[in-house]
Amino acid sequence: MSDGYVLITGGCGFIGTNLADRLLRDGHRVCVFDNLSRAGVERNLEWLRAQHGERLLARVADTRDANAVREAVRGATRVFHLAAQVAVTTSLDDPVSDFENNARASLNVLEAIRNSNHRPPLLFTSTNKVYGGLSDVTLDEEALRYTPRNVRVAKHGVGETRPLDFHSPYGCSKGTADQYVRDYTRSYGLQTIVFRMSCIYGPHQFGTEDQGWVAHFLIRAINREPIAIYGDGKQVRDILFVDDLVDAMLLASADMNRCAGEAFNIGGGATNTISLRELLAMIRELEGREPRVTWSDWRTGDQKYYVSDARRFSARTGWSPRVGTREGVRRLREWLLTAGIPAMVQHAEEPASIAAKRVAGGGRVGERPVAAAAQAKE
C-alpha cells in the first residue's frame, strides 16, 4: 500500500462503495478501510473486487485501532472518513460504544493525518443531527407533512448559521467529531472539510431500520412485511441520491484550498423533500398495493422537519442535485430487485424452524441479518 491511494474509512458501506467505484472508474487507486461489521457489506466488497481487481486495496480493520489507522494513512493521498456508528437508537442503548466509534475514532484519523509526513486532505461526513430537534421551528400540520411557518426555512431549509444543539448521544458524538475536524484546520493547519448530511439513498444500501430508511421501506414493502412508523409519519426530510453526493464529495475534495476548515449542509434541498407518508404513497404506486404499516411513539431526538439549505456549497462549487425524488426512489427499487436484496433480507430474518427446513431443502444458509449495527457509514 506504499504507492499512494485514496483512503476511504467505512469504504465497504453504502456511500463508501459508491465513492470507491467512482474513483476507481476515474483511474485512481483506492484503499477501503472497513471492519466489515455491518451485515451485507461483504457483498459490496466482493462487488468492488469483481469490478476493479487489483486497483482496489482492502484493509479489514477498525478506526478505533489507532495503529491500523496510522498505517493506512501513511500511504493515502486523500482521506474520506465515512466510518461511524450511525443509529440514534443504538447510541441511546450504548452511548460509550457510540462515542468510541464516532468521536474517538475520528480523533484517531485526525491524529494519524497530523503526525504523517504528507498530511493528506480529509473530508468528514457529519450529520444534520448536530442541529438537535429544531423544536423552535414552528410548524403547520398538513394532511401528509409538516410545513415551517418561517418563509425562509420553508423555501430554502436549514443553513449552516443554525446553532449546534446536540440531542441524543449520536448527535453528541458526531457533533464532537465535526468540531474536532474543523478545529484541526485552525489549530494544526490540516486541510479538512465537513459535510453535515441529510438522508442519502441509492444502490448498495441494504436498508436497516435506523438508517437507510428509504431502502428499508422499499424492502419491507416488496416483501409484504409491515413498515414501522415512529410518530405520525408527517416528518419531512430532504433526500439526496448517492450519485449526487459523490459529485459533491469530489468537487469539495478538488477545491480543498478554498473550502478547508468549513462545514457545509448537504442534502437534496427544498426541491427534494418527502414525508414518510408521502414515501408510503409513492411505494403504493410502485408496488400496486397498499404497504402494511405499524405505528409507534416518537423517538428521542427525531426531527419533525429537516431540510438542508445547501446553497452555500452550491455557490462555492456550482453543485446541485440532478436526480429527483421520484426518479431516485424508482432507481433504488430497481437496484434492490436486480441485486436480490429483499429475498436476502427475508431469508436472513426467517425463524430458526423455517431456516432449518431451508437447509434440509438445499437453500442458502449463513446469511447474517441485515438489521445488524455496524461501523460502515450510512
130-to-35, 162, 269, 358 alpha-carbon distances in Å: 25, 10, 17, 45
Q: Has 170 been annotated as catalytic?
A: yes
- Cβ count near 59 (within 10 Å): 17
Main-chain phi, psi angles of 49, to 5 degrees = -65, -40
Q: Is 316 exposed, middle or buried (0-12, 13-18, 19+ CB in 10 A)?
A: middle
- Give 288's DSSP letter: T
Are residues 344 and 367 in contact, defined by beta-carbon separation less than 8 angstroms?
Answer: yes
H-state helical runs in the chain: 14-25, 41-52, 66-74, 88-93, 95-99, 105-114, 151-156, 169-188, 213-222, 242-254, 256-259, 276-287, 311-317, 325-339, 341-348, 352-360
Are residues 124 and 181 in contact, defined by beta-carbon separation less than 8 angstroms?
Answer: yes
Bridge-partner residues for 57, per DSSP?
31
Q: Which three cell numbers stand for residue 212?
A: 437507510
The half-sphere exposure of 10 on its side-chain side, counting CA atoms within 13 A, is 28
* Active-site choice (170, 180, 184, 201): 170
Q: DSSP letter string over 189-223? A: ---EEEEEE-EEE-TT----TTS-HHHHHHHHHHT
- Cβ count near 189 (within 10 Å): 12
How many Å apart are CA 219 and CA 225, to the nearest integer?
Answer: 8
Catalytic residues: 170
